[in-house]
Structure 1
Amino acid sequence: MPMNSEQQKHHYDFIVCGAGTAGSVVAGRLAENPEVEVLLIEAGGSDDHPHVLEPGNWPLNLGTERDWNFVGAANPHLNDRKIPLNMGRGLGGGSSVNVMLWARGHKNDWEDFAALSGDPAWNYASVLKIYQRVEDYRGTGDPVRRGRGGPVHVAPVRDAQPIANAMISAAAGMGIPAFENPNGAMMEGRGGAALNDLIVKDGRRNSIYRAYVAPRSGQPNLTVLTDTLVSRVLFRDQRAIGVQTIKNGQIECFYADHEVILSLGAVNTPKVLMQSGVGPEEELQRHGIPVLQHLPGVGANHQDHVSFAVIFEYATPQPVGYGGSEATLYWSSESALHLPDMFHCQVEFPVPSAETASLGVPAHGWTMFAGLAHPESRGWVKLSGPNVTDAPHHSTQHAVASHRPAQRAGEHPFCPGTGRAGPLQGLGET
């Protein structure tokens, strides 16, 4: 529940940074225990906006204050294009601005995680139980694979538009099987095509924030702060003891008696860690940041799906269904592959890229996206400077950045009670 400055306290059991998909789950689950006090901090604002809640409006969030508006560095492999990277900023994070698809990982993804980690808790049988516990599935019953009564309302597309059914029929004509839904047997074999499952409830987006945190908004042990930017993690000796934040230009600090959880997304999480002194020594020293813990894995292995779109023009306007994306396809280009390596989804309106938009966009049409399900390319998230206002830099190349004198390790001039910090306890090299 949002609190004003007169009510606000500064010590909690747990501080969760970022109210996106992961942070909402963590905060909501922690707050189940009435003996635990939880603070959830979000840089963006409320999700109570028609562009968030009305399913067909999701494109209107992109490029607004509900989007971090990240842009990659010039990529020499793409004629130096700078590729946009949209990420949700606000309660619900990406689950408040995405296309609302509910999409599980493939069975062999989980089997691979279990094999690599040596931990059977990551295998498909184990994770399937979690999926079932999480879901409140409103489609055709499948007690082996789907769940009922969980916090996340999941429902199949209703009254799908003709273009969605046409995609599934076309796939069948190529020998790609159709399935009742994309999150059951379809994700246990070579793949297939199906109408989507969506997190839409009673005609409105039901984000992960709405599923896990909003139902607990009246609890006295849960505090949600919006429009509050986490600028760094605070350390004392070998422990993370809190966070420094900025709201309306004012610096404020909050302290955790048990844990600080960073769930700020794939870009901002490594950014905050590095600007707090945790990360690759060379990168931190390049920006004059005192090294608390040399941890070279921070910012490494940045990856995303590579995809492209083909727009087909309609002669006359056609209806748009829930969210505008109602059918999906996962398939392996070769039958011997261990996992599906490509995905397709249809969007029921034209979706140009920044480069193709200038060539003219049809007034009416639909878009077929095609992409790699398992891209092999990897990049980096690096710093452009040591300050919270310095934008992160994500690419395989270094940014040119100015330096400024940094305070000594562990000193936080606006936050009393923080001493000189030592290495992060329990963190080693990755």
Structure 2
Amino acid sequence: MTLAQAENYRILREADLRDYLAGRPKLTAVLGGVPGDWSITEVGDGNINLVFIVKGARGGVAVKQALPYVRLVGESWPLPLSRAHYEYLALTRQAQLAPGLVPAVLHHNDALALTVMELLEPHIIMRKGLIAGTQYSRFVDDITTFMAQTLFFTSDLALTAAEKKEGIAAFAGNHALCKITEDLIFTDPYRIAEQNRWTAPWLDATAASFREDFDLHVAISRLKLKFMASPEALIHGDLHTGSIMVTESETKVIDPEFAFYGPVGFDVGAVIANLLMAYLASSGHERSPGDRAAFEAWVLETIEGVWNEFARKFLGLWRSDAKGDGYPVSLFAGEAGAARLDTERQAHMARLFQDTVGFAAAKTIRRILGLAHNLDFEAIADEKLRAICEARSLRLARRMMVEASSFATIDAVIKAAREVRGWQPDFAR
């Protein structure tokens, strides 16, 4: 917390927030009516922030305020308010690069760590829709446009070296949020950590085996080093289905407070991981055997589409908008040079896919053996059935991480997911 924030920050409750918004003409114009009549509801169901929905006679806004600690844990885990600043920077940059795919920012106050955004209605958190078995026909096109645009245009392929370094510097202070990722995703699930949890007793043996699996420890450590040491592009940093709001015709990416310059595959892997978990959790939400078969087929098609469309769009931008200092076009003159560069582009995407597979595995494991879990699994009331779904996901994730090179295509990932869907862990037999 900066000195200015320490002197001016306060946690806004309903009355404070009403007064604050009433003093901003731009926001009162959006809300309309008399401030005393505005409805204010705190709806934050995430791990670290307050989120309010404010509605007036004319319209509504969403207000997000960072807390000086991790909400999920409490004041014993302090967290810098500066994360709200980085989220604001990320939202405004993403709005420039992927128009219409993030909520519009209406107001920001650094000292209060507070951002006011457009109210997304009738959007819902995508994860909740997936649990209900809803299919979203626009999702693949929207999320791949978001990722391709934001990741390509903040990379060395689109920027000069100086521009890229300025971008890295602008987000370098967000290291506290990076530290959360480095611990909760890349370290804690593989050791005894106080805040780890899993569906006991069914997953006790699996959790113990992961703590003793040195092949797995080498693989996750390589991924952790990649995360810490590869500032390839401005990544969202927490791009899961709980950070995406959807309708059947629209997709909005929210909550980029973990944003920093990191490996491209981390964002792409996060999306694929959460879709894989939705697929493998689906049997736990059946009302009768097979009643979600169409939904599960759609999820697998969506996973395939996410990678293939992202790769197609990213490569298209590389061919049309490569104005950065990476792979200078002047080194690849003529037909022979262009052909050789295109071969290298394909090789680059193959390496990126390997990163994506590994990061997807890491994101899966942390959601089952670490601190913060996914509602996909947590909403399964039968704990043994939940553990079966989670065990399948862990089995797939371990293979994807340790044997990443055996997954050369997204079809190989989908094939493995189908196979593990029919597998029964020992405790289920």
TM bin (shorter chain): under 0.3
Larger strand fraction of residues = 1
